[in-house]
Structure 1
Amino acid sequence: MTVFINLIVSVAVIVILQLAGMLVFSLMTPFNDLEELKKGNMAVGLAFGGKFLSTALIIGVAAYTNSSIWYMMLWFLVGYFILVASYWIFELVTPGLKISEHLQKGNVAIGALLCFVFIGTSFAVSSLIV
């Protein structure tokens, strides 16, 4: 019975962390991600999908490598902070490029690049989680 309760609690925490992570990412853009997705904005879809997958990768590795829910949450927060920082660093190293404007205009190249920045960062960060 204890294993079942631990599983339910772990899954609930993972879902809550994933949703909270996506909410913070949505607040970082000056436009409404869901409205852009409803319009069929492929660039936003790619960037949003990259955010979702990268967040899930970090949660998955944190859950797999930690037997304590508290350590899992801690490592997720560390990894998530690095993901958010990677977005802002990407903005800084591309001064002639306003990422959010290009995403809102539907620039698929920027959406794809940002998607892979997030996924690549999450793979690199996941190797640090112990």
Structure 2
Amino acid sequence: MSAAEILSLFPATFLSFLVAFGLGLVFWVAGLVVVSLITPHSELTLLRAGNLPCALAFGGKALGMVLPIAAVARTAAGPFDQIIWCIVAVAVQLVVHLVLTTLLEGRLKEEIAADKLGGAAVFIAFMQVGAGVLNNAVMSG
């Protein structure tokens, strides 16, 4: 394929990129907002204050959530397919979040309140990333 042919295809492929990237970004941010709304503390306020347990746990949630969204962007048959599978990706990560916070019975909340990094924040971060990796692998087929 010549450079001229590649350049002639660029506008259409760039538009596809923008749509896929935009949808992925919307679902990533929306998923993180939902996670923030269902937690007993304000992550944004805590992150601005430099709370390390919150930063680690929320960072793990953010990475765990974007991994399957990235897989969906790569494999979706089109925007509608991407929307459907992004909803599934975010839902899976939210379920993992709820299960982990239930299993640890407020331990992360205690660490965040004390601003002292402990096992709960580390465990939750790694489990969220692990769930995201698994979710990514399943969704990328």
Within 5 Å, which residues of 2 pair with 1:14-33?
A: 14-33=24-43
Aligned to 1:59: 69
How much does 1:125 deviate?
1.6
CA distance in 2, matches of 1:64, 1:54: 16
Aligned to 2:7: none
1:2–1:22 Cα change, 3 Å: same
Structural RMSD (CA): 1.7
Of structures 1 and 2, the larger Rg is shown by: 2
- Residues 59-102 of structure 1, C-alpha deviation per residue, up to 9 Å, x if partnerless? 1111112231222221221121111111221233334x443333
TM-score normalised by length of structure 1: 0.87
Structure 1 ranges of 4+ moved more than 3 A: none
**Structure 2 counterpart of 1:105, one-letter code:** A
Size of the aligned set, in residue pairs, is: 129
CA distance in 2, matches of 1:127, 1:11: 19
Identity of aligned residues (%): 22
CA distance in 2, matches of 1:2, 1:77: 26
Provide structure 2 residue ranges, at least 5 long, that are not aligned to the other structure: 1-10
CA distance in 1, matches of 2:12, 2:77: 14
Aligned equivalent of 2:95, options 73, 78, 85: 85
Aligned equivalent of 1:38, options 38, 48, 53: 48
- Residues 34-83 of structure 1, C-alpha deviation per residue, up to 9 Å, x if partnerless? 11112211000001111111111011111112231222221221121111
- Is it true that 1:4 corresponds to 2:11 in the alignment? no
How much does 1:119 deviate?
0.3
Aligned equivalent of 1:106, options 111, 115, 119: 115
TM-score normalised by length of structure 2: 0.81
